[in-house]
Structure 1
Amino acid sequence: MAEGAVAPSNDPPPTPPQRPDDEDCCGQGCVPCIFDLYDEAMGRYRDELAAWKERHPGESPP
Structure 2
Amino acid sequence: MNDTDPTDDPRPCPPEEPDLNACCGNGCTPCVFDIWAEEKRAWEKAVQNWESRQRSRLKTVSDIGF
Q: Same fold (TM over 0.5)?
A: yes
Structure 1 segments unaligned to the other structure (5+ residues): none
Q: Secondary structure at the match of 1:9?
A: helix
**Which of 49, 52, 55 is the equivalent residue of 2:53?**
55
Find the structure with the greater CA-based Rg. 2
* TM-score normalised by L of structure 2: 0.73
The structure with more helix, counted as a fraction of residues: 2
Q: Quote the sequence identity (%).
A: 37
Alignment of 1:1-62 (within 5 A): 6=4, 8-57=6-55
CA distance in 1, matches of 2:20, 2:38: 17
Q: 1:50 to 1:7 in 2, by over 3 A?
A: farther
Counterpart residue type for residue 51 of structure 1: N
8 Å Cα contact 2:6-2:54 kept in structure 1:
no
8 Å Cα contact 1:17-1:38 kept in structure 2:
yes
Structure 2 segments unaligned to the other structure (5+ residues): 59-66
Counterpart residue type for residue 35 of structure 1: F
CA distance in 2, matches of 1:6, 1:54: 15
RMSD over aligned CA atoms reads 1.9
